[in-house]
Chain A
Amino acid sequence: MLLITCPVCGNVGDETDFHYGGQAHIRRPASANPGEVSDEAQRDYLYVRLNPKGLHFERWRCDRGCAKWFHMARDTVTMEIKACYGITELPPREIIAQIPPSNPWYGFFDQRQAEPASTAAEPKNAELESTGER
């Protein structure tokens, strides 16, 4: 049983007080001209899911509290909730740093994650955000 704290209203409840919304940070590949969206991009958007064994980023809704959607970083093996953060936000830096190279989320939020720490310049917030959903 998950015990969840809503990052919006602070409501604390078990998983039945919340609603699962699947993988987070999925961006719709639409453009001004939808015909330009490739079949692959459309497939990935609609059906392909990262489904990692370990750290995952997902959407939840605060059903019995403020009814708002929010984000959660959770381990799918230990069930540990690592962080809850706002629906327009990216995961906290320290959580992104914990994504191991074997996890399909690796490099998703920050390409420089793959480089050694000393050479990677500290990403500016604006840059980091531009890789996430808006």
Chain B
Amino acid sequence: MKLYSIFSLARNALNYHKDWPRAWRSPEPRPEYDVVIIGAGGHGLATAYYLAKEHKVTNVAVLEKGWLGGGNTGRNTTIIRSNYLQDESMAIYELSRKLYEDLSQELNFNTMFSPRGLLMLCQTEHELRAMKRTNHANRLAGIEARMIDTAEVKRLVPIINDSPNARYPILGAYYQPRGGTGRHDAVAWGYARGADSRGVDIIQNCEVFKIIRDDDRVTGVETSRGTIRAKKVAVVTAGNTSPLMQSAGVNMPLESVCLQALVSEPIKPVIDVVVMANTVHGYISQSDKGELVIGGGADAYNNYSQKGTLPALEHTITALVETFPIISRLRTMRMWGGIVDMTGDRSPIIGKTDVKGLYVNCGWGTGGFKAIPGSGFVFADTIANDRPHPIAAPFGLDRFLEGRLIDESVAAAVAH
């Protein structure tokens, strides 16, 4: 791997940037691998990277039906935070947020982590109490965050409507100063480049149709580019997980729905933090290009089409226009949807399955971008050692059998 640096930049400038090497190869699939990872989103690529780097498992293929990072990883609104309520969640999301802090150096790729600060508005008494509870839980776990009052919210977010007569007045906010955003594509590309340079084959345009098992053990996958044998198979396909797991005889506790987002036309800087308004279902930040990045709640019903409908977006925009009146005149530039995999407790599933050699990492729903580094780290460890990493262990499929849920659905109505 050619390292990117100020010197390589200068050197390549002399050749008019015509000689940059490709960031990753485009290899033909081999007939057999030690580990096949299905899905080249952030979680699959990070898993491959840490398998190669931390565990020296390099006979690995990542199979992707489209292009790498073209799923939810390239469609999300890039919010990064770790102020979750439950101990298990705090452990994995804070591990992940910490890894984001140095990720650009780790990957020699600018992932543009921007810990610009994140506010979760409190717009009802109930929400205020709930956020105080989360704040206490977070402080016990050593996560830096604090409650702020309406005046400080207004100072941090001058465009906010702080009128006490608003339909949902701002009563305060829960503030995580080191939360923020990152560059979603760069996270996928950085992990892809790092995994590829350590020998991992990333095979794009290769759709997996079926997971093949021999009795109680997985033996490989059937793909659009032929059968590929594997000792271990890891399914990391977000909203497409249920059909794949079903092909291996495992019915999942998941529902696939569409989550949409949109960006406005670019404007001058007006907001330099991330604001989430969970009661009214909307959140907003401003990209480096000046677009307001806006998202909200998911569409209601099961959907595999990657297309959402207007009512969900209208609901989001209505909520945000009351909270940020100046955005009412902005035009929408782009809108899109991604298919997210929702669990009943809104917590992910990471770990082994009843089929030997079959692993699954899914259920990140509407909020897994922030978790990519941590999830990849613990999942690689789980696969390499064939037992759950301590931080991954509570998120196993067995929690649904034992009724041991990790309930984040009440903690954050909008979990991004």
Contact = CB atoms under 8 A, between A and B. Distances in A.
Interface string A18-47: 011011000000000000000110111011
A76 B303 contact: yes
Contact of B302 (A15, A42, A51): A51
B258 to A, nearest CB: 10
Interface in A46-67: 46-53, 56, 58
B302 A76 contact: yes
B301 interface: yes
B254 interface: yes
A52 B311 contact: no
Contacts of A102: 243
A39 B401 contact: yes
A28 to B, nearest CB: 16
Interface string B208-248: 00000000000000000000000000000000101100100
A58 B302 CA distance: 9
A46 B302 contact: no
Contacts, number: 75
Contact of B242 (A15, A20, A52): A52
A53 B305 CA distance: 9
B401 A51 contact: no
Contact of A43 (B240, B300, B302, B400): B400
Contacts of A50: 242, 251
> Of A2, A14, A53, A79, which is in contact with the most chain B CB atoms at under 10 Å from its CB?
A53
B344 A47 contact: yes
Given A20-B301, A76-B303, A77-B304, A49 B311 contact: no
B301 A58 contact: yes
Contacts of B332: none
A49 B255 contact: yes
A46 B404 CA distance: 13
A127 to B, nearest CB: 25
Contact of A56 (B251, B302, B401): B302
Nearest to B247: A102
Given A15-B300, A43-B400, A52 B305 contact: no
Contacts of B243: 51-53, 102
B401 A15 contact: no
Interface residues of B, number: 25
B252 interface: yes
Chain A: interface residue count, which band? Answer: 20 to 34
A130 interface: no
A15 B311 contact: yes
Contact of A77 (B305, B311, B400): B305
A47 B400 contact: yes
A15 B256 CA distance: 18
B253 interface: yes
A1 interface: yes
A104 interface: yes
A1 B311 contact: yes
B309 A20 contact: no
Contacts of B252: 48-49, 51
A47 B409 CA distance: 14
B310 A1 contact: yes
A78 interface: yes
A50 B310 CA distance: 26
Contacts of A16: 311
Contacts of A53: 240, 242-243, 256, 304
Nearest to B301: A20
A77 B403 CA distance: 32
> Of A14, A15, A23, A58, which is in contact with the most chain B CB atoms at under 10 Å from its CB?
A15
A13 B302 CA distance: 19
B385 to A, nearest CB: 26
Contacts of B255: 22-23, 49, 51
3 closest cross-chain pairs (CB), A and B: A47-B253, A51-B242, A20-B300
30 contacts: A1-B309, A1-B310, A14-B311, A15-B301, A15-B309, A22-B255, A23-B255, A40-B401, A42-B403, A43-B401, A46-B400, A47-B253, A47-B343, A47-B344, A47-B400, A48-B251, A49-B252, A49-B254, A49-B255, A50-B242, A50-B251, A51-B256, A52-B242, A58-B301, A76-B256, A76-B302, A76-B303, A76-B305, A102-B243, A104-B246
Interface of A: 1-2, 14-16, 19-20, 22-23, 39-40, 42-44, 46-53, 56, 58, 74, 76-79, 102, 104
